[in-house]
Chain A
Amino acid sequence: MSIAKKMKQFDGIRESVDPKHSLGLLARIKRYQKNAEIIFDTEEPIGVPTDLVMPRRRWFGRTKVSPNDPVINSSSFSNHDAR
């Protein structure tokens, strides 16, 4: 089975992003704005930064890291910082 066919099989279980209500100007505007969200998915959702791969600058190891730091909460935080 080709890769494309395998991917199509998964389409059925993908969550739809279409709004439930398609009538009315407001609904149409909302649906249009929804297009801005199509680059996100469950793996890289809205609210989670990605690609934050540069190490945090630490002056003699003194800089404290806040648990709310966006880097800590990013989906691509790697072991760069640990080195």
Chain B
Amino acid sequence: MTPADTLHRSPSTDVTPSEVEQVERALIDASTRVPVLMFYTSAIIWLLLGTLLAGLVSFKLHSPNIFSGVSCLTWGRIRPAHMNLMIYGWASMAGMGTAIWLMARLCRTTLRHPLLLVAGGGFWNLGVLLGVGGILAGDSTGYEWLEFPSYAAIVLFVAYVLIMSWAVLMFRFRRGGAIYITQWYLLGAFLWFPWLYAAAQIMLFVVPVQGVLQSAVSWWFANNLLFLWLGAIGLGTAYYMIPKVIGRPVFSYHLAAIGFWTYALFASWTGMQRLVDGPFPAWMITASIAAAILTIIPVATVGLNHHMTMRGYFSLMRYSPTLRFTVFGAISYTVFSMVGVLISLRSVARYVQFTTAGEGYTHLGLYAFFTMVMFGSMYYIVPRIVGREWRYATLIKLHFWASVYGIGLMTLMLLAGGLAQGSSLNDPTLSFDESTQSVLPYLRGRSVSVVLLTVSHCIFAFHFVLMLLGLGRTASVPTFLNPVEEPEAREAQV
């Protein structure tokens, strides 16, 4: 039965709920196809460019003479260009694409006027392009993750308002009374981002605060962008994908609600623990350290909920690309949060501050958690909106393992390198030059991990292009309709 067949029937008793749901899903997926694919395609292009810059950033740390004569490719420019590209180009675009699809599915509404959303995506791309171009041209603002010059930030914000309005409108006109936990997280993320971005822009550029407070605002923004924007989208996505793929409701919905509210409450206080021993009132930093420790509550509830939901179903990770990426991301979220708490403690922070450990922590959150969950969601969503299955299982496996080994090696090198560097910096018998030398082997190891991640991203991009060109596998069971087969028929296929 096709969607058209069902629609031509009278919506009376001869249409079963099963047929209705099938058609409903197909219609929702069809309405989100163009904008979601546009967001995903843009995200993957930015991911490839960001990976290229990541390679340069990494190699220049131990071989600084590479492109040393080209001013726009100096380390001080390509490092912020790489980070901003990954955050606003890759992570935000992939997150928004996933959020739009999830919102439409969970609100059971078709996306109206999707081309306006595409226009919003186009503006966002323009903002990222202007921002990265500005940074490479030497126009960076110098604030962590806010390096885009003001002309790019305005374009980005206008684009965001266009995109967010659509998500909020979908929620406003949702059908059915119940709200799923994913919708809470997504709606929270969509409302938190403009608050964070506008507050930071106003306090740093429009009506700038004075002196060291600029650092406090900057770190508050950077930390919360990771937690309240990307983290909320990542957790919301995991709460949908894991139960959906294994066919089991989330272990405790109450725990999920507690996790959400404690996350919203404590995460927004963090950020200033990165300024331990800085010229700030002690209460500011202590409050952030306390909030970071209290984030153990949402982390534990989310971790426990995901673990208990998955209990007895871990073997399914072998068969579902979505599940293997999402579960890896969910586990990484726990590790990321625990490392965050650990490096927030004054005794540890004094040791690892100003070392590569902070970078390792950021990569754990941005890549091992968020990016892996996004890959998982793409493996789930793309077949449903293009009506084809992923072409090669081997490429999925290669993508997964290259990503796992790549990010595993990178975080290991950066965290271990941070400890070695901290140890050298705290040793009064060593000169600063000698302490810098001590971290070089770890930086070379990090470059190897970048090569692995480059391979992984190229494989994924190639696979995605095959799907876009309609060269995906035609399964006997179209995933986007996903009808239940007779058990005999399935066994016969085996």
Instruction: Check B249 against A73 for contact (C-beta < 8 Å).
Output: no
Q: Which of A18, A32, A39, A47 contacts B106, CB < 8 Å?
A: A39
Q: In the complex, which residue of chain A has the Cβ closest to the Cβ of B473? A: A80
Total number of residue pairs linking A and B with CB closer than 8 Å: 181
Q: Does B22 contact A (CB under 8 A)?
A: yes
Chain B residues in 8 Å Cβ range of A75: 247, 482-485
Instruction: Check B491 against A43 for contact (C-beta < 8 Å).
Output: no
Given contacts A7-B24, A77-B490, A80-B473, contact A49 B106 (CB under 8 A): no
Q: Mark B360-382, 1 if CB is under 8 A from A, else 0.
A: 00000000000000000001100
Chain B residues in 8 Å Cβ range of A15: 17
* Chain A residues with a Cβ closer than 8 Å to the other chain, count: 56
Using a CB-CB cutoff of 8 Å, which residues 17-44 of chain A contact chain B? 17-18, 29, 32-44
Chain B residues in 8 Å Cβ range of A59: none
Q: Does B350 contact A (CB under 8 A)?
A: no
B14 to chain A, nearest CB (A): 10
Instruction: Check A38 against B178 for contact (C-beta < 8 Å).
Output: yes
Chain A residues in 8 Å Cβ range of B283: none
Using a CB-CB cutoff of 8 Å, which residues 305-326 of chain B contact chain A? 313, 315-316, 318-323
User: Which of A46, A52, A67 has the largest count of B CB atoms less than 10 A from its CB?
Assistant: A52
Instruction: Check A80 against B389 for contact (C-beta < 8 Å).
Output: yes
* Chain B residues with a Cβ closer than 8 Å to the other chain, count: 73
Q: Mark B249-260, 1 if CB is under 8 A from A, else 0.
A: 110111010000
Q: Which of A3, A9, A55, A73 contacts B487, CB < 8 Å?
A: A73
Q: Does B7 contact A (CB under 8 A)?
A: yes
A39 to chain B, nearest CB (A): 5
Q: Which of A3, A39, A44, A47 contacts B482, CB < 8 Å?
A: A44
Chain B residues in 8 Å Cβ range of A77: 477, 485, 490, 493
Instruction: Check A36 against B476 for contact (C-beta < 8 Å).
Output: no
Q: Mark B156-170, 1 if CB is under 8 A from A, else 0.
A: 000000000000000
* Stretch in B228-236, B237-245, B270-278, B335-343 with 4+ CB within 8 Å of A: B237-245
Q: In the complex, which residue of chain B has the Cβ closest to the Cβ of A10? A: B20
Using a CB-CB cutoff of 8 Å, which residues 1-38 of chain B contact chain A? 7, 11-13, 15-18, 20-25, 27, 31
| Complex Cα gap A53–B316 (Å) | 10
Q: In the complex, which residue of chain B has the Cβ closest to the Cβ of A6? A: B7
Chain A residues in 8 Å Cβ range of B493: 77, 79, 81-82
Q: In the complex, which residue of chain A has the Cβ closest to the Cβ of B27? A: A3
Q: In the complex, which residue of chain B has the Cβ closest to the Cβ of A72? A: B490
| Complex Cα gap A67–B487 (Å) | 10
Instruction: Check A32 against B254 for contact (C-beta < 8 Å).
Output: yes
Given contacts A40-B247, A53-B390, A81-B494, contact A4 B24 (CB under 8 A): no
| Complex Cα gap A20–B90 (Å) | 46
14 contacts between A and B (CB under 8 A): A7-B24, A13-B13, A14-B17, A36-B243, A36-B253, A41-B21, A47-B248, A53-B383, A53-B475, A54-B318, A54-B319, A56-B318, A72-B490, A80-B473
Q: A39-B240, A70-B319, A75-B484 are in contact. List 11 more A-B contacts (CB 8 A).
A: A6-B11, A33-B254, A36-B250, A38-B176, A45-B247, A49-B313, A51-B320, A52-B319, A53-B321, A72-B490, A80-B393
Q: Which A residues are closer than 8 A to B by beta carbons?
A: 3-4, 6-15, 17-18, 29, 32-57, 65, 67, 70-82
